[in-house]
A and B are shown apart, each in its own frame.
Chain A
Amino acid sequence: MLHLALAFAIGCFALALLLNLWRLATAPQITDRILAVDTMVVNIIALIVLYGVQTGSTLGFDAAMLFAMTGFVSTVAFCKYLLRGGIIE
């Protein structure tokens, strides 16, 4: 049962990633693109962790954590650049 649920969840997040990619390609505004990339990061974190559960190794979890941190910082940095025209104040 766990294998089926795992496969289902991986399928869901992979599909979500594809939808995000489609949004990224067709986004009408720059904020939508940032939002699409931000959502992609979150979905990729879920995929990495699910892959770790499937293979039974915790090696990928560090990568997932780094992804979470750099994803957040890059979203904020991008917004800050658009808001102020510079990142460091």
Chain B
Amino acid sequence: MSLLLETCISLLLVIGGLFGLIGSFGLLKLKTPMQRLHAPTKATTLGVGATLLAAAIAMYWQTGSASWQVVMISVFLFLTAPVSALYLAKTHLHLGKDPLPPTSTKADWAGKRR
């Protein structure tokens, strides 16, 4: 039982570390600013989520008392990642001059500079 648990925690840690690394690598490798926004919002969030999950299980296993703070941190990260990504995308659109497709109705995009 304990070996199985240890294997699970180790696997989660390795997967988390790899995804965190991929996220930061994508930030360097991708070419355009909007493409770069994809890497940290998805890969890093999942990587840190998996790592924190492993840490929570490991702490419970080692000390015998559950540490809910770590779970709360990963929930918080998962909730805030889309919001900061939306804000960064809005800022990029505000500062840049990307050609945008038309909207489906008469109203224009909300952040468009007039």
Which A residues are closer than 8 A to B by beta carbons?
A: 1-2, 4-6, 8-13, 15-17, 19-20, 22-23, 28-32, 34-36, 38-39, 42-43, 45-46, 49-50, 52-53, 56, 58, 61-62, 64-65, 68-69, 72, 75-76, 79-80, 82-83
**Pairwise interchain contact B69-A79, C-beta atoms closer than 8 A:** no
Contacts A62-B69, A82-B95 known; list 13 others, CB within 8 Å.
Answer: A9-B13, A13-B20, A16-B23, A16-B24, A19-B25, A23-B28, A32-B36, A42-B45, A43-B20, A50-B55, A72-B76, A75-B84, A79-B91
Q: Measured between C-beta atoms, what is the minimum distance from B82 to chain A in Å?
A: 11
Are A1 and B23 touching (Cβ within 8 A)? Answer: no
Of residues 1 to 42 in B, which have CB atoms within 8 Å of A's CB atoms?
Answer: 6-7, 9-11, 13-14, 16-18, 20-21, 23-25, 27-28, 33, 36-37, 40
